[in-house]
Chain A
Amino acid sequence: MSTATTTPTSNVTKRVSAIGKARELGILLALVIVVIAATAANPNFLFSADGWRDLLLTPSILVLVAVGQAIVLITRNVDLSVGSVLGLTAYLTGRLFIDLPGIPIVAVFVIAVAFGGVLGLINGALVAFAKVPAMVITLGTLYAYRGINVLWTGSDRINASDLPKSFLALGTEQFLTIPILTIIALVVLIIAGWYMKNTRGGREFYAIGSDPAAAELYGLRVTRRLLTAFVLSGALAGLAGVLYAARYGTINSQAGSGWELDAVGAAVIGGVAIVGGVGSVWGAAIGAVLLLTINRALPILGIPDFWQRAVVGVLIIGAIVLDRVLAVRQKRKLIEARDDS
Chain B
Amino acid sequence: MSSITQTTPAPASVRRYRDYDQPLWKRVLLTREMAIIALLIVVVIVASMTVRGFGQPITLTYLILDVTPILLIALPMTLIMITGEIDLSVASIVGLSSVITGVLTHGGMPFEIAALIALLVGGIGGAINGFLVTVVGLPSLAVTIGTLALFRGLAVGLLGTTAVTDFPEFWTDLAKAKLGATGIPLVIIPFLVLLAIFAVLLHFTPFGRGIYAIGLSKETAAFSGVDVGRTKFILFVLAGFVSALAGIYYTLRFGSARGDNATGMELQVIAAVVLGGVSVFGGRGALHGVIAGVLLIGVLASALRLANVTSDVINIITGALLVISVVSSSFLAWLRTRRQAPGGKPRVEVSTAG
Contacts and interface: CB of A to CB of B under 8 A. Distances in A.
Contact of B149 (A141, A265, A273, A275): A265
A143 B271 contact: yes
B145 interface: yes
Interface stretch (B68-76, B283-291, B320-328): B320-328
B145 A268 contact: yes
Interface stretch (B103-111, B132-140, B191-199, B203-211): B132-140
A310 B145 contact: no
Interface string A203-244: 000000000010000000000000000000000000000000
A154 interface: yes
Interface range on chain B (Cβ under 8 Å from partner): 35 or more
Interface stretch (B40-48, B152-160, B170-178, B214-222): B152-160
B319 interface: yes
A202 interface: no
Nearest to A327: B137
A178 interface: no
Given A136-B326, A143-B322, A258 B264 contact: yes
Given A150-B310, A213-B13, A306 B330 contact: no
Interface string A123-160: 00010001111011101111111111011001000000
Contacts of B150: 309-310, 312-314, 316-317
A310 B315 contact: no
Question: Which secondary structure dominates where chain A touches chain B?
Answer: helix
B353 interface: no
Nearest to B324: A140
B281 interface: yes
A139 B327 contact: no
A311 interface: yes
Interface in A243-282: 253, 258, 261, 264-265, 268, 273-275
B240 interface: no
Contact of A313 (B146, B270, B318): B146
Interface residues of A, number: 49
B316 A147 contact: yes
Nearest to B264: A258
B25 to A, nearest CB: 28
A316 B319 contact: no
A145 to B, nearest CB: 8
A321 interface: yes
B331 A130 contact: yes
Given A154-B310, A253-B312, A139 B267 contact: yes
A264 B145 CA distance: 8
Contact of A132 (B142, B145, B153, B327): B327
Contacts of A261: 145, 148-149
A147 B7 CA distance: 47
B24 interface: no
Contact of B322 (A139, A148, A324): A139
A308 interface: yes
A141 B323 contact: yes
Contact of B330 (A131, A148, A320): A131
A74 B90 CA distance: 26
Interface in A277-332: 304, 306-317, 320-321, 324
B30 interface: no
A141 B270 CA distance: 14
A144 B149 contact: no
B142 A274 contact: yes
B313 interface: yes
Contacts of A268: 142, 145-146
B312 A132 contact: no
Contact of B157 (A132, A133, A307, A316): A307
Contacts of B154: 310
13 contacts: A132-B326, A136-B323, A137-B327, A140-B326, A144-B319, A151-B316, A261-B148, A265-B145, A309-B157, A313-B147, A313-B148, A317-B143, A320-B146
Given A126-B327, A261-B145, A274-B139, 4 more contacts: A136-B322, A147-B316, A310-B150, A324-B138
Interface of B: 12-13, 86, 132, 136-139, 141-143, 145-154, 156-157, 160-161, 259, 264, 267, 270-271, 274, 280-281, 310, 312-323, 326-327, 330-331
Interface of A: 78, 80, 126, 130-133, 135-137, 139-148, 150-151, 154, 213, 253, 258, 261, 264-265, 268, 273-275, 304, 306-317, 320-321, 324
**The 5 A-B residue pairs with the shortest CB-CB distance in the complex, in nearest-first order:** A310-B153, A313-B150, A143-B319, A147-B316, A144-B319
